[in-house]
Amino acid sequence: MSNAILFQEITIHLMHDEKPSVYLDELITKKAEEYPISMLYRLKETKQSPIHHPEGTAFVHTIMVVDQAAKVKKKASNEAVFMWAALLHDIGKPNTTRNRKGKITSYDHDKVGHRLSEEFLSALTNDTTFIKQVSSLVRWHMQILFVVNSLPFADVKAMKQQVSVEDIALLGYCDRMGRTNANHEKEERNIKEFIRLTK
């Protein structure tokens, strides 16, 4: 299968499956050693904080986020961009995850993920506009946490130059809901507060 056909196949499942996770798990397991799918397979070996991510590895979290995104994709300004961003949002975690005195962290995985999502998609498609749109969502997907908690990593001005607040809010909501201890009401409040603070 050529990479162009693989891109089309993945996109079809992301756009039309009720639970794209079923296809993705099978694909990534089968093509674990094939580039660029190997970049996603590394998520299966990436541990996360049991406090924030009791669901397990970064891969388990990722496919939970993709399934959540599939439920709300029609709210996004571009459904295909949104679904690919959901799939690739944590692609930077394998490179950034560290165990710091018993605490598992993945600082700057959003910034590293920006570069790696560009690399991943460039291996599958020549659509530079699409690649930029997806990687920009990946780059800014942590801004909800940063803005709502008044953290120094927040950069609303730069974010708004590249992506819409609504798309980031939607991706961030899926990111927060794609875990086993998700609090729907709390995350709804955080999204509303993020939108209020960034308008």
Integer Cα distance of 101 and 83 in angstroms: 35
Give me the mean pLDDT over the 48-64 stretch. Answer: 94
Confidence at residue 63, expressed as pLDDT on a 0 to 100 scale: 98
Q: Angle 167-160-79 (CA atoms, 0-180°, nearest 5)?
A: 20
Integer Cα distance of 182 and 80 in angstroms: 25
Q: Could you tell me which residues are beta bridge partners of residue 105? A: 98
Handedness of CA 129, 131, 134, 138 (dihedral sign): negative
Average pLDDT, rounded, for the chain: 97
Q: Considering only CA atoms, which of 35, 49, 37, 53 is closest in space to residue 88?
A: 37
Task: Report the share of the chain in percent with pLDDT over 70.
Answer: 100
Structural contact between residues 187 and 65, judged by C-beta atoms closer than 8 angstroms: no
Give me the mean pLDDT over the 5-12 stretch. Answer: 98
Task: Report the share of the chain in percent with pLDDT over 90.
Answer: 96
Residue 1 has pLDDT above 90, yes or no: no
Q: Which amino acid is at 102?
A: G
Confidence at residue 168, expressed as pLDDT on a 0 to 100 scale: 98
Q: Domains, the chain, ranges and CATH?
A: 3-198 (1.10.3210)
Q: What is the pLDDT of residues 119-163, one digit of tens each?
A: 999 999 999 999 999 999 999 999 999 999 999 999 999 999 999
Place of tokens 């991706």: 171
Give me the mean pLDDT over the 109-118 stretch. Answer: 98
Integer Cα distance of 133 and 156 in angstroms: 17
Higher pLDDT, 181 or 79: 79
Higher pLDDT, 73 or 102: 73
